[in-house]
Amino acid sequence: MFTAVTSVPSVVMRVYPDDCDAFGHVNQAAFLRMFERARWEVLAVGPGMEAFRRSKTWPAVRKSTVEYTAEAFPGDVLQYDTTLTHLGRTSFSLHQTARREADGVIVAEADSVFVCVGETGRPSAVPVEIRNFFGTRPSVRAGAVQHLLVRDVATAVDVQGDGPAILFVHGFPLDRTMWRHLVAPLTGWQRIAPDLRGMGLSDVPQSGRYSMAEYADDLAALLAKLEVEETVICGLSMGGYIALEFVRRYRSMVRALILTNTRAEADTPEGKAGRDEMAQLVEREGAGALADVLLPKLLSPSSLSAMPQVVEHVRTMITGSPVAGLIGALTAMKDRPDSTPSLQQIDVPTLVVTGREDLLIPVEHSRTMADAIPGAQCTVIPEAGHLTPMEQPIATSRVIGEFLEALG
């Protein structure tokens, strides 16, 4: 069975003006303080603030790192979740997330290592009360990457939440982290976001082992590993090509389909030639060369100028992609079948989502695809390009949330 997440109670705290810098953002020192206060609050609602004093032990912080993922401003209400990630005899580690209550976006994450010290300053055992409070076993933290062996490929996957499953399939040349902000508000669902073979942190099989069928078979095997029998599948662009293949091969596992910024047609002859050129570029100059070529096509002009953190995230995903995996994906896309004839056979609830400024797959393609799928609905999100779920995560999440709710 897949390791369950067993977090201690959440606490909620408001951001005050004195937590913020001159520009109104929560500042670094304040975040350290807020994470620390959240830990004491957790202790207060758990075994009580006196738990350490009672056992004449003090949890000394040996190391603490904070990663900022979004801005937070005065008045924001943040929910702090705490998970034990390591438990030794005298030390333990905690992972904390601060999530904006209003929209579920994670604004910061902290990892801290504690050593319990006694009155003489020597390491002493973690108090039993504290062990019992956290449970004896450290848990896989919410959203933490796991590595599962799937069809002989070590596959990185984030699994978050409980409930019916929804599988998120990323595009090219991206990875599972592209869904990070979109999935946060979709509580009540088990959100599964893997790195496809050869991408992100997953293993990179050698050439010849990449096709839409291989990707779809990987996903079915991953779901079997996670004991998921039925799922909603949501794919962006190349992830959509894979989702369409998945529906053909594993119809009985599909509860509903979400296709974002994708198309049903196969590559044109010019498109195929473009794939070969891109593969040569990557082979010659590495993944970094792709970032400059692709960024202006993937993001809308407004995202490019106004969302530096999204630009940076996309660049990081592209430059971190293994060359063999990129070439494998380019081959798989070049050789992918035309899914147009099978659209009218899709008999699961389907949502098509795209960005009004998608330069790679114009809005008309999405509308035509939705028209060909019986009963499909199509939503066009403004101020978004080809990476709509990253550029407009709140709006996209809302549209997806409403679709999921209607599934009953």
Residue 31 binds ligand MLT, judged by CB under 6 A: no
Does a cis peptide bond (omega within 30 degrees of 0) precede residue 337? no
> Is the CB of 132 or the CB of 316 nearer to ligand MLT?
316
Contact indicator for 186, 400 with CB cutoff of 8 Å: yes
> Is the CB of 116 or the CB of 238 nearer to ligand MLT?
238
> Is the CB of 238 or the CB of 351 nearer to ligand MLT?
238
Residue 238 binds ligand MLT, judged by CB under 6 A: yes
Pattern 145-174, ligand MLT, x by CB under 6 A: --------------------------xx--
Residue 295 binds ligand MLT, judged by CB under 6 A: no
Q: For residues 141 and 65, what is the distance between their CA atoms, to the nearest angstrom?
A: 16
Contact indicator for 52, 42 with CB cutoff of 8 Å: no
Tell me the site size for ligand MLT, rule CB under 6 A. Answer: 7
- Which residues have a Cβ under 8 Å from the Cβ of 364 and sit 6 or more positions away? none
Pattern 106-145, ligand MLT, x by CB under 6 A: ----------------------------------------
Which among 251, 233, 227, 215 is positioned nearest to 346, based on CA atoms?
A: 251
> Is the CB of 138 or the CB of 240 nearer to ligand MLT?
240
> Is the CB of 96 or the CB of 237 nearer to ligand MLT?
237
350-380 exposure pattern, b = at least 16 Cβ within 10 A, e = fewer = bbbbbbebbebbeeebbebbbebbeebebbb
- Which residues have a Cβ under 8 Å from the Cβ of 7 and sit 6 or more positions away? 81, 82, 83, 139, 141, 142
Choose, by CB under 6 A, the member of 145, 360, 363, 394 that binds ligand MLT. 360
In single-letter form, the type of residue at position 80 comes to: Y
275-304 exposure pattern, b = at least 16 Cβ within 10 A, e = fewer = beebbebbeeeebebbbeebeeebbbeebb
Q: For residues 337 and 267, what is the distance between their CA atoms, to the nearest angstrom?
A: 9
Smallest separation (angstroms) from ligand MLT to the CB of 275: 8
Smallest separation (angstroms) from ligand MLT to the CB of 185: 23
Contact indicator for 90, 115 with CB cutoff of 8 Å: yes
Residue 333 binds ligand MLT, judged by CB under 6 A: yes
CA dihedral 357, 373, 378, 398 (to 10 degrees): -110
Find the binding residues for ligand MLT in span 371-400 (CB under 6 A): 386
> Is the CB of 110 or the CB of 238 nearer to ligand MLT?
238
> Is the CB of 99 or the CB of 386 nearer to ligand MLT?
386
Smallest separation (angstroms) from ligand MLT to the CB of 407: 25
Smallest separation (angstroms) from ligand MLT to the CB of 386: 6
Residues that bind ligand MLT (CB under 6 A): 171-172, 237-238, 333, 360, 386
